Amino acid sequence: MTDVAGKTAFITGGASGLGLATAKALVAKGAAVILADVDGDGAEAAAELLRSDGAKALALQLDVTSEDSWAAAGAKAREFGPVRILFSNAGVGGGSGPFEEYDTEVWRWNYAVNAHAHLYACRTFLAEMKASGEASHLVITSSMVAIVPPPISVAYISSKYATLGIAMALRNELAETRVGISVLMPGMSATRIVETTRELRPVEVEVGKAAATSQAMQGVLAGGMSPDKIGARVVQAIENGDYWIFTHPEWKKMAELVTADMLGAFGTSADPEYRGDDIDGLIAANGGRMFGARI
């Protein structure tokens, strides 16, 4: 559990969408915020809006795929205040079309933004958060599609699945520290992720069926949940120490179907004479914790 009042939060993708919405909810509770975004002008405009209401806010231009950009942002953030809340949130869509036809550069870019950037974020701030001894918190944005994958984008779905894996592993790793962790699993949210993806893609814009799919998803997301409501829930999770942040309960039935399908596939051992894996030994070898709790 982390009291956000008086703490400094570093938020990637902070110029708009879930990042900015969470920043608003944090400053309402007395936190200072650093809005980091590849759109530096957008981040500055958002920070100025917060400052005009009396908040302490800093804008930084940050390319989450660049170690050099992270180093520069980290140095400026430390001058502003010690980061005790880290919201690794920046994300892009993955494009569309059959898997075997994916553009290699789009695939690599999607993973660099949606998954690999969490390593850079933690490398920049997590050690200091641990060493401070203060109640701190890490939030990582995944997606409901990491659990219930619709047939839309292999790059996006698999990178968000990787993100969920990162958060689940860190839950165990951080269990003995004063750094809490949450994984945000939103459903459809009214953000600009489709437009941002279109603007930032490292190759030509999509055409034909792929372009039509992009436009259709833009329309679907426009009717999604308000980012402000999701941002408020994120802050509540930080304060309560919640690991899972499920904001769209209508996805629960589909998640149950996925889980039932997986569990139903367990049968007899491939080797009836094998004694079975030493699960207790595995847990003991890793500090006696799984799911963030001592087993």
Largest CA distance in the chain: 70
Q: Which of 70, 106, 66 is nearest to 197 (CA)?
A: 106
Answer yes or no: are the C-beta atoms of 88 and 12 closer than 8 Å.
yes
Q: Which of 52, 15, 9 is nearest to 234 (CA)?
A: 9
Answer yes or no: are the C-beta atoms of 117 and 89 closer than 8 Å.
no
The question of whether 243 is a catalytic residue gets the answer no
Answer yes or no: are the C-beta atoms of 124 and 82 closer than 8 Å.
no
In angstroms, what CA-CA distances link 275 with 266, 270, 279, 285? 17, 11, 11, 19
Tell me which residue has tokens 């094998």.
Answer: 274
**Catalytic residue from among 102, 120, 156, 161:** 156
Residue positions annotated with a catalytic role: 156
